[in-house]
Amino acid sequence: MKYLRLVSLLLLPLVVLAQTPKTAGPKFDIDDFSKKFEVAQWLVRYDTVAWKTTDLVMAGDKSELARLGREWFCFQDPKGSWHAVYGKLENSKFDQVFHFVVDDAGKITRTTDKIDQEFLIAYAKALQLAQKKLVEAIPANSPTHNTYIKRNDDKTFNVWLFPAYQTNDVAVYGGEFIYTIDATAEKITKDESYFQGNFRGFNAKPPREIWLTYTEKEKPTLGSIFFVWYYKEYFTRIFIKNAKSTSTVIKDDSEYVWVHMETEPSPGNSSPKP
């Protein structure tokens, strides 16, 4: 995947620019956006490994499928290669059922290599803790969520839970649940979740222009950036509408380019000011 260019534009009436020279440079926080976008790119790569290996799992032997629990995850080894592990944590032991490795060319191979139990148990416990917290944070019968996990250099975990693409072809936004978990996988040390109070969604068929409403936020959230990057080929255009800016991606030849437009608040108008 190519890394796209980041473009920030100031979209204000020309008369304002002419009368207020200090506004000639955009105020959009590009550093904050770039950091979040880097995480979003990694999450999309994780998701790709997850859904491709899940397809292989579902085509597996029924006796193996019966041994699976909710404790499955992807990770990168020290060389950067992706792995996907499927199994179940039970009685303080992780039953490793499937282990896939993805090479640099994207080829997926099932391997019988066993992963260290301490490693597997820590990941599984962190996943269980985050998923339990999610259930407590959202209403019953909420949309299903995908879970992403990464272990940091200090052995702590980051876990992200974002609404999944629903089985009825609806792409959902409005909630993003982000937890930092300690090295023992027993305690959430930081909760950076954001929930609008209810979930919203768009049917991806037929493709069309859509707007994500985040006017209560000054900056694009990680979840909204992830949504745009993940669904950019599902819709003709996706806009993130924040309090003072609008962000979107446009396709420039074979690359996608982010465009950020500063906007003046206008009651009753959710589109950028011309």
What pLDDT, in 10s, does the model give residues 5-17? Answer: 344 443 332 222 2
User: pLDDT tens for residues 82-109?
Assistant: 999 999 999 999 999 999 999 989 999 9
Q: Would you state the structure tokens that stand for residue 268, as one six-digit string?
A: 């009753």
Give 26's pLDDT tier (boundaries 50, 70, 90).
low
Predicted local confidence at residue 43, as pLDDT: 98
Distance CA 258, CA 6 (A): 5
For the cut 90, the answer to whether the pLDDT of residue 182 exceeds it is yes
Name the average pLDDT for the chain: 89
79 secondary structure, DSSP code: T
Domain assignment of residue 187, yes or no: yes
Domain assignment of residue 65, yes or no: yes
Q: Report the DSSP pairing between strands 108-110 and 6-9.
A: unpaired
Domain assignment of residue 107, yes or no: yes
Predicted local confidence at residue 179, as pLDDT: 98
Domain assignment of residue 273, yes or no: no
Q: Which domain holds residue 174?
A: 6-262
Q: Please state the length of the chain.
A: 274
Predicted local confidence at residue 264, as pLDDT: 67
Domain assignment of residue 126, yes or no: yes
Rounded to a whole number of angstroms, the distance between the first and last alpha carbons of the chain is 33
Count of other CB atoms within 10 angstroms of residue 221:
20
Domain assignment of residue 272, yes or no: no
Q: Which among 168, 169, 226 is positioned nearest to 194, based on CA atoms?
A: 226
Domain assignment of residue 270, yes or no: no
User: pLDDT tens for residues 50-86?
Assistant: 999 999 999 999 999 999 999 999 999 999 999 999 9
Distance CA 160, CA 198 (A): 18
Domain assignment of residue 219, yes or no: yes
Q: Would you state the structure tokens that stand for residue 243, as one six-digit string?
A: 């309090």
For the cut 90, the answer to whether the pLDDT of residue 157 exceeds it is yes
User: How does DSSP assign the chain, residue by residue?
Assistant: -PPPPEEEE----HHHHHH-GGGGS----HHHHHHHHHHHHHHHHHHHHHHHHHHHHHTS-HHHHTT--S-EEEEE-TTS-EEEEEEEEETTEEEEEEEEEE-TT--EEE--PPPPHHHHHHHHHHHHHHHHHHHHHS-TTPPPEEEEEEE-TTS-EEEEEEEPPPTTSEEEEEEEEEEEE-TTSS-EEEE--EEEEEEEEEE-SS--EEEEE-TT-SS--HHHHHHHHHHTTTSSEEEEE-SSEEEEEEEETTEEEEEEEE----TT--S---
Domain count along the chain: 1
Report the range of poorest mean pLDDT among 13-22, 86-95, 160-169, 215-224.
13-22
Q: Would you state the structure tokens that stand for residue 192, as one six-digit string?
A: 């950076």
Predicted local confidence at residue 18, as pLDDT: 25
Burial of 258 (0-12, 13-18, 19+ CB in 10 A): buried
For the cut 50, the answer to whether the pLDDT of residue 46 exceeds it is yes
Distance CA 8, CA 11 (A): 10
* pTM reported for the whole predicted model: 0.86
| Phi, psi of 221, rounded to the nearest 5 degrees | -85, 165
Distance CA 137, CA 195 (A): 9
Report the range of poorest mean pLDDT among 101-105, 162-166, 170-174.
101-105
